[in-house]
């Protein structure tokens, strides 16, 4: 994403793969928000591989669905967890609180 994320201010951030209907991780999402109202995201559509990004979009309340402008299918950005998800990638949930990163 061309826009730098200010992690001191960010309230939500995720960077992970997204699955298609077959459960294959064919897409990818990077998304963040400073206020849970306006979101910035960059999505590779898991259905058609189209890449696009949007800035300052209001997604409303969960669950969040993002429609691909190319194939018009919607990707569900389901909740993993908020805050601290950041750029660490998957499976860092087990980190103890006192680890410096
Ligand atoms: Zn698509």
Nearest to 30 by CA among 15, 48, 8: 15
Q: How many Cα atoms occupy the beta-carbon half-sphere of 31 within 13 Å?
A: 31
For 5-18, how does the pLDDT look when each residue is reduced to its tens digit (9 = 90+)? 888 899 989 999 99
- In a domain, residue 100? The reply is no
- In a domain, residue 84? The reply is no
pLDDT of residue 95 exceeding 60: no
Tally of domains in the chain? 1
Q: Domain range spanning residue 50?
A: 12-77
- In a domain, residue 99? The reply is no
Protein residues within 5 Å, CB atom, of ion ligand 1: 45, 47-48, 50, 68, 70-71
For residue 68, the CA-to-ligand 1 centroid distance in Å is: 5
For 50-69, how does the pLDDT look when each residue is reduced to its tens digit (9 = 90+)? 999 999 999 988 889 999 99
């Amino acid at each position: 994403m061309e826009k730098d994320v200010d992690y001191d201010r960010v309230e939500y951030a995720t960077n992970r793969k997204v699955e298609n209907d077959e459960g294959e991780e064919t897409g990818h999402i990077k998304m963040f928000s400073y206020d849970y109202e306006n979101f910035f995201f960059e999505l590779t559509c898991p259905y058609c591989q189209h890449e696009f990004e949007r800035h300052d979009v209001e997604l409303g309340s969960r669950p969040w669905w993002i429609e691909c402008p190319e194939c018009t299918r919607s990707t569900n950005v389901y909740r993993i967890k908020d805050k601290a998800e950041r750029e660490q990638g998957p499976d860092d949930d087990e980190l103890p609180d006192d680890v410096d990163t």
